[in-house]
A = this chain, B = another copy of it.
Amino acid sequence: MSKLTDLPKRIIIGRALHSDRLGETLLPKRIALPVFASDPLSSVAYAPGEVLLVLSVAGVSAYNFSPWIAVAVVVLMFTVVASYRQNVHAYPSGGGDYEVANTNLGPKAGLTVASALLVDYVLTVAVSISSGIENLGSAVPFIIEHKTICAIAVILLLTLMNLRGVKESGKLFAIPTYVFVGGVFLMIAWGAFRGLVLGDSMRAPTADYTINAEHKGLAGFALVFLLLRAFSSGCAALTGVEAISNGVPAFRKPKSRNAATTLALMGGLAVTMFCGIIALAMVTHVRMAEDPAVHLLKNGSPVGDGYTQNPVISQVAEAVFGSGSFLFVVLAAATALVLFLAANTAYNGFPLLGSILAQDRYLPRQLHTRGDRLAFSNGIVLLAAAAAVLVYLYGADSTKLIQLYIVGVFVSFTLSQTGMVRHWNRHLRTETDPAARRRMVRSRAINTFGAFFTGLVLVVVLLTKFTHGAWVALLGMVVFYVTMTAIRRHYDSVAEEIAVADDAGDDVVRPSRLHSIVLVSKVHKPTLRALAYAKLMRSDNLEALSISVDPEETKTLREEWERRGIDVPLKILDSPYREITRPVIDYVKSLRKESPRDAVSVFIPEYVVGHWYEHLLHNQSALRLKGRLLFTPGVMVTSVPWQLDSSEAARRRARKRAEWNAPGSVRRGPVPQQRREKAAAKD
């Protein structure tokens, strides 16, 4: 693996940053925008299409509602951006939605948000990669023919990259994101120029198709429901907006202001692109249907199963730039790349959130350690596996996957905004400065509106999408919630168990004497070293212990022992059944029984090896013995290592690992102070 990904990585992102240099990598706005906004910006690649898809159920005439839906999405986007600008100012330490909900609404709300976000990260990977594959497929038909396998291959690639520790680099994100944004804007501008100035009639490849409406002449409640569903789908454009509020510490100073500005910029770009694409789709007569094989007609007959429905952005690009033109291909590639980068943000966000949850003891503690490769690996593999399963089950169909999406996003939006309202209420109770109070009242009003609006959208999403797949997302949330609650309960009970009473020092019985045992099988260097070390640790009683599984070997050992004049008494225990563990345990127990106030110290010579398969060949009995010994009260076990030559390789690997940077370290910002006030406040 090392050789496999190293060279491309070096080429793409340059020499890996040593974490001591992390302090230098504060992000200017122009880099922060692509780092944090690739997710929300990339969603304009699929969100407009989803709106048209849903509307198509009521026939082409329903497409006329799409500008209204776009308006609703724009209003929602402005609301959310405005709300999160308040978050950014109120929590300059990078309090994400989890933090905000946890602090202001209590741990249950916090955990709900966390569960929602975890599910969301999985879906970000699944949806973004599926959509990226579809966009790439509009230029390269081979890919669309092997959609699922290609999507899973991309997941695998991202996973390997992240496991290796290719971390977010500003520049890596900047180029494709800017190419994408630039390309979309150029497309909108060129489309407007051709349409308005040149008067060209641009036609999408599906312009001549007709749609066989599933429900003709929909009206009243049914129509409203359909429009709400279309709106829900359009809301996919809002996913990822909260990312900036997590990443404030990564910004250059003034952090909050810069973050807020970037947030506004991102919102502005996203809605412009969203509306532009919807408008171009209308002008170029893009035709999309939910089930194209049946409902999309070409010359009056259904297009059938062989038909591939290209994403709206690629159809529009084809109409504006011309089929197969250079710009069309560049835009398709940039779209796919931005979508893959959006998926990559989940690879960074997942362990980051995990680390925060671990600090609050909802997840295993070690996830909290920054740069702990193993902890991150577990998170990354879990994320990738869940996303791959979803991609496989839904055939890498972004339209189907989007049905599960958004629920989580709006759960966290709503709870976060509600939490912000509480936040301001609390601060208003003590704040006396009129100017500050005015600002707070204004912020509270914005957050209240945000909470109300996003809550409303959440209800709409749940109502319109529940049977379409939102239940899967809810189920996922419940699973995460229950697991994390159980972990927290476990930690709490252990903490209680091991707490030392404030007054007592007697909780821990102090042993009076120490009996040391060195386990010996043969006279070789590891044994001699263990003996030397055991002698150094002066104890009241020192003896060497060997288990006789073979009389011949035992005889040899005894002779060697005498010949070399080793000055530690050698005790030999018989083991007619060739067992090692039980005689040792029994002997230790008998020592403890004789003098219960003594402690026993067992020295085990251990081989340190360099490769995982060597572990299978060595130390197995030592490890098992150690495992059993630890269950015996009053015993401690000392490993005296002997480094085999092959261990040099492992040492090198370990050193390399130590220099590794965890994914997401750029967006986390260099200062781990961020959550300290919080932790202190709660303790």
> A residues bordering B, Cβ < 8 Å?
19, 22, 364-366, 368-372, 374-375, 487, 490-491, 494-495, 497-500, 505, 507-508, 510-511, 513-514, 516, 523-526, 528-529, 532-533, 536-539, 549-553, 556, 564, 576-582, 599, 601, 603, 606-608, 614, 616-618, 620-621, 624, 626-628, 630-631, 633, 635-645, 647, 650-651, 654, 658, 672, 676, 679-680, 683
Give 13 CB contacts A-B under 8 Å.
A22-B577, A366-B620, A368-B578, A369-B621, A374-B620, A494-B607, A500-B524, A508-B528, A533-B599, A537-B538, A626-B639, A631-B643, A631-B647
| A491 and chain B: residue at smallest CB distance | B617
Q: How far is the CB of A503 from chain B (nearest CB, A)?
A: 11
Nearest residue, chain B, Cβ from A615: B364
Q: A372 — which chain B residues lie within 8 A by C-beta?
A: 579, 621, 624
Q: Which of B374, B552, B640, B676 contacts A676 (CB 8 A)?
A: B552
Q: Which residues of B contact A680 (CB under 8 A)?
A: 552
Contact check: which of B375, B525, B581 meets A507 at CB < 8 Å?
B525
Give the chain B neighbours of A621 by CB distance below 8 A. 365-366, 369, 372
CB–CB B500/A658 < 8 A: no
B514 touches A499 (CB 8 A): no
The contact of A514 among B536, B550, B582, by CB within 8 Å, is: B536
A579 contacts across to B, CB distance below 8 A: 369-372
Do A550 and B679 touch across chains, with their CB atoms under 8 A apart? yes
Chain B residue nearest to A659 in the complex (CB): B582
Known A365-B621, A639-B630; judge A511-B499 contact (CB<8 A). Answer: no
- Find chain B residues with CB under 8 A from A508 CB: 525, 528-529, 532
Cβ of A365: which chain B residues have Cβ within 8 Å of it?
Answer: 617-618, 620-621
A582–B499 CB distance below 8 A: no
- Do A577 and B636 form a contact, CB below 8 Å, given A490-B614, A630-B641? no
Which B residues lie within 8 Å of A631 (CB)?
608, 641, 643, 647, 650-651, 654
Residues of B within 8 A of A553 (CB): 679
Chain B residues near A672 (CB, 8 Å)?
A: 576-578
Known: A578-B368, A579-B369, A676-B551. A528 touches B507 (CB 8 A): yes
Give the residue of B369, B537, B578, B606 whose beta carbon is less than 8 angstroms from that of A370: B578
Roughly how many angstroms separate A608 CA and B626 CA in the complex, as a whole number? 11
Q: How far does the Cβ of A618 sit from chain B's closest Cβ, in whole Å?
A: 8
9 new A-B contacts at CB < 8 Å, known A494-B618, A514-B537: A369-B578, A370-B577, A498-B642, A508-B532, A550-B679, A553-B679, A601-B638, A631-B643, A636-B641
